[in-house]
């Protein structure tokens, strides 16, 4: 027994090391601040393809990975609409992208996206990352997860919209707005990265 126990323990350890290396506690790779984002071509809820290059003379883009089903995304939905209404006229439109696989979450299908966009009168493009190739490039991991690009497509901010998901009026720090304001002034955002709780992006099995 004395001999067997250590062998068993070591075997377990080796197995666990394998397991741990397979699931690192790391954010998925993706853009870092200052990287130039690659343009994409994704289907919008109006049936047309949208690319960043379609926007005329933008001063930036607020890419928001969001979806229908996630309660966090729902809490932020009105704030995302408000951000677009405030900043699109200043040259920084919101571009919403649903990264979830409908095979995992049927509520996030393209048809359901169309319904949601219509029902809530989304003033911005709501695109479907159907092949799930765009969100990994950004390194998006949850919804909502926002990325601010400047006019040269350089990533200037990534993270949360603000610091209070539940009560918008109680937010102390409005990270996304502060970052957009900085970019509009031609400055670098003072805070360019934040973490937030959210729903994990649902990958195709």
Partner 1 sequence: MKPVIPMRFRPICLIIAILALTAPAAAAQNYAVFDSVDQLQSYIEREKNATVVVNFWATWCKPCVAELPLFEELNRMYDDQDLKIILVSLDFRSQLERRFVPFLKSKALESEVVLLADQDADTWIPLFDSMWDGGLPATLVLNGKQRIFVSGEFSSVEELKKVIDSLRADSPRFRSPVTCGSKLAAGQ
**Which residues would be at the binding site for partner 1 (CB under 8 A)?**
9-10, 12-13, 15-17, 19-20, 23-27, 70-72, 75, 105, 141-142, 159-160, 163-166, 170, 172-173, 175, 194-200
CA distances from 102 to 34, 55, 67, 121 (A): 32, 28, 11, 22
The residue (of 24 and 47) whose beta carbon lies closer to partner 1 is 24
Residue number with CB closer to partner 1 (34 or 71): 71
Determine whether 96 is exposed, middle or buried from the number of CB atoms within 10 Å of its CB (0-12, 13-18, 19+): buried
The nearer residue to partner 1, 151 or 194, going by C-beta atoms, is 194
- Six token digits for residue 166: 């539940």
How many residues appear in the chain? 205
Which residues are registered as beta bridge partners of 147?
A: 63, 158
Task: Pick between residue 70 and residue 113 the one whose CB is nearest to partner 1.
Answer: 70
Least distance in Å: CB of 179 to partner 1? 13
Using omega within 30 degrees of 0 as the cis cutoff, is the peptide bond preceding 201 cis?
no
């Amino acid at each position: 027994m004395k001999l067997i126990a250590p062998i068993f323990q070591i075997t377990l350890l080796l197995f666990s090391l394998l397991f741990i290396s397979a699931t690192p506690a790391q954010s998925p790779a993706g853009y870092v601040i200052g990287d130039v984002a690659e343009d994409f071509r994704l289907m919008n809820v109006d049936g047309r393809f949208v690319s960043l290059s379609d926007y005329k003379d933008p001063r930036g883009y607020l890419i928001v990975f969001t979806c229908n089903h996630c309660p966090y995304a729902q809490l932020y939905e009105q704030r995302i609409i408000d951000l677009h209404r405030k900043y699109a006229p200043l040259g920084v439109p919101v571009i919403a992208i649903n990264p979830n696989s409908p095979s995992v979450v049927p509520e996030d299908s393209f048809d359901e996206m169309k319904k949601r966009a219509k029902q809530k009168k989304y003033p911005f493009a709501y695109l479907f990352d159907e092949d799930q190739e765009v969100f990994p490039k950004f390194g998006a991991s949850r919804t909502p997860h926002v990325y601010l690009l400047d006019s040269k497509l350089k990533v200037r901010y990534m993270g949360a919209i603000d610091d209070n998901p539940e009560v918008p009026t109680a937010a102390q720090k409005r990270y996304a707005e502060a970052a957009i304001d900085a970019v509009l002034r031609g400055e670098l955002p003072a805070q360019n990265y934040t973490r937030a709780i959210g729903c994990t992006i649902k990958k195709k099995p």
